[in-house]
Amino acid sequence: MRYTSTRGGAAPASFLDAVLAGLAPDGGLYVPEAWPSLGGWVREAGLRDYAGVASVVLEAFAGAALSPAARHEITQRAYGPQSAFDASAITPLIQLGANHWLLDLARGPSLAFKDIAMQLIAPLYDHALAERDQRLTVVCATSGDTGGAAVEALKKSDRVDLFVLLPKGRVSDVQRRFMTASGAANVHAIEIDSDFDACQAIVKALFADADFAGRASLSGVNSINWARIVAQSVYFLRTASALSAPGPVDFVVPSGNMGDAFAGFVAKKLGAPIGRIGLATNSNNILARALQTGRYERAAQSLATISPAMDIQVASNFERLLYDATGDADLVAGAYRALAQSGGFDAPPAALAAMRETFSGADANDAMTKAEITRFFEEEGALICPHTAVGFAAFPQPAADRPVVYLATAHPAKFPETVEEATGVRPPLPPKCADLYDRPEQVAALPADAEAVKALIRERSRAWV
Ligand SMILES: *Cc1c(COP(=O)(O)O)cnc(C)c1O
């Protein structure tokens, strides 16, 4: 299986090269040259344990790049009995009504769904780096949860130095502490005096500097990284297969960078019985607008909302969707030039129609979101995080004639103030991280300036040559 760039300007790469690189050298995102299919095996996916399904999906996308023994070791470390997850199901499925379900993706060490992919990426990196006797500088821009999940997963990877760029004052205390209080020598948290989009732009600028990227052995674990998408497709596949009767299953996905929702699309490509995928956004609604109008256009500035992990203007993975819908790398490259120059582009009508076969988009503002946290508590007696609530608010439960699965993307204890305001109940941190507030924080503060970040990486990364 080989990978090409959505912008057509990079040499085809192997699975491990695409994963170690993160972003393609032409600024595009790696996608498989052809979609693999699991054929009739998808029916079994709902019956197998999580690690087993992950291994089959990894085989579909990595092919001969990973031996069966390597796949087994990697998926067992990520999801086996000794994993960092506190539920053996990894992603427990909770029935809410006759046809409504909640998929709990927040049982990992940093209490957000980002753990699920990051716990797989760490052993995958360790394997590839040991095989190549190489070190890596991993950079990660975070709107709140990717950073914590990357820290938890990579803090024990001795061939990796991790640099996390977080937007100052735009993440919750609990989110920040997962990044700053690990105590790990290979973890470097950097507070950037701006918003998430500025952090993401710095990461892209580091990759665009070929000399710097080469000397630092730079890699990225944002959802630009293909391994993230592959790892996340596993829970869509397993859940759809388990609930399909035998018709399709719909999903509602709280979305920002669209990595999670695109993983659902990938599961569908593998053959999973998936119908529609709802892209639920907060007031930073570029995705909802794009699906409604066909125009992908960034707003003047990103708004700070109560679902901060989705305060994102440019949803990186929309590029993969546009590429899939057009099959035209030149068109994608042109669209993203227009986005950089004039702030937007129009998807061709045929491409928009193709996207709408699977995706719809809807948004919910903070008031709607808070009301949904309250409603859920009153009706279900349980607390949900604000991101999860955006899903329910943007796609109010339809009188579904087929199963609808709402994704719960973070633990409510990551956003205690908002949840307490909406319900009167302050969600406690789970025992496994109850000491989060007792640990010392270590964090550097920098302006939104790629050169300043480069200087810090040069100084601190052990991969630098
Ligand atoms: C990252 C995140 C999202 C959005 O996921 P994308 O893959 O960026 O669309 C939603 N909810 C939470 C809690 C997150 O951390």
Q: What's the gap in Å between 82 CA and the centre of ligand 1?
A: 26
Question: Looking at ligand 1, which residue's alpha carbon is closest to its atom 1?
Answer: 309
What per-residue confidence (pLDDT) applies to 449?
A: 97
Ligand 1 proximity of 264 Cβ (cutoff 6 Å): no
Of 223 and 324, the structure prediction assigns the larger pLDDT to 324
Q: What's the gap in Å between 442 CA and the centre of ligand 1?
A: 25
Is the domain defined by 93-111+227-423 classed in CATH 1.25.10.10? no
Ligand 1 proximity of 276 Cβ (cutoff 6 Å): no
Q: What's the gap in Å between 77 CA and the centre of ligand 1?
A: 24
Q: Averaged over 255-275, what is the pLDDT?
A: 97
Q: What's the gap in Å between 280 CA and the centre of ligand 1?
A: 10
Ligand 1 proximity of 369 Cβ (cutoff 6 Å): no
For ligand 1, mutation pick of 176, 229, 277, 310 (most atoms within 8 Å of CB): 310
Ligand 1 proximity of 114 Cβ (cutoff 6 Å): yes
Question: Looking at ligand 1, which residue's alpha carbon is closest to its atom 12?
Answer: 409
Ligand 1 proximity of 254 Cβ (cutoff 6 Å): yes
Which of 129-133, 144-148, 219-223 is least confident?
219-223
Q: Averaged over 185-204, what is the pLDDT?
A: 94
| pLDDT above 80 for 368 | yes
| Three-class secondary structure assignment of the chain | CEEEECCCCCCCEEHHHHHHHCECCCCCEEEECCCCCCHHHHHHHCCCCHHHHHHHHHHHHHHHHCCHHHHHHHHHHHHCCCCCCCCCCCCCEEECCCCEEEEECCCCCCCECHHHHHHHHHHHHHHHHHHHCCCEEEEEECCCHHHHHHHHHHCCCCCEEEEEEEECCCCCHHHHHHHHCCCCCCEEEEEECCCHHHHHHHHHHHHHCHHHHHHHCEEECCCCCHHHHHHHHHHHHHHHHHHCCCCCEEEEEECCCCHHHHHHHHHHHHCCCEEEEEEEECCCCHHHHHHHHCEEECCCCCCCCCCHHHCCCCCCCHHHHHHHHHCCHHHHHHHHHHHHHHCEEECCHHHHHHHHCCEEEEECCHHHHHHHHHHHHHHHCCCCCHHHHHHHHHCCCCCCCCCEEEEECECHHHCHHHHHHHHCCCCCCCHHHCCHHHCCCCCEEECCCHHHHHHHHHHHCCCCC
Q: What's the gap in Å between 76 CA and the centre of ligand 1?
A: 25
What per-residue confidence (pLDDT) applies to 87?
A: 78
pLDDT single digits (tens) 149-170 = 999 999 999 999 999 999 999 9
Give domain limits for the chain: 93-111+227-423
Closest ligand 1 atom to Cα of 143:
1
pLDDT single digits (tens) 64-115 = 999 999 999 999 999 999 999 987 889 999 999 989 999 999 999 999 999 9
| pLDDT above 70 for 399 | no
| pLDDT above 70 for 174 | yes
- As a whole number, the mean pLDDT across the chain is 95
For ligand 1, mutation pick of 116, 251, 257, 282 (most atoms within 8 Å of CB): 257
**Catalytic annotation, residues:** 114
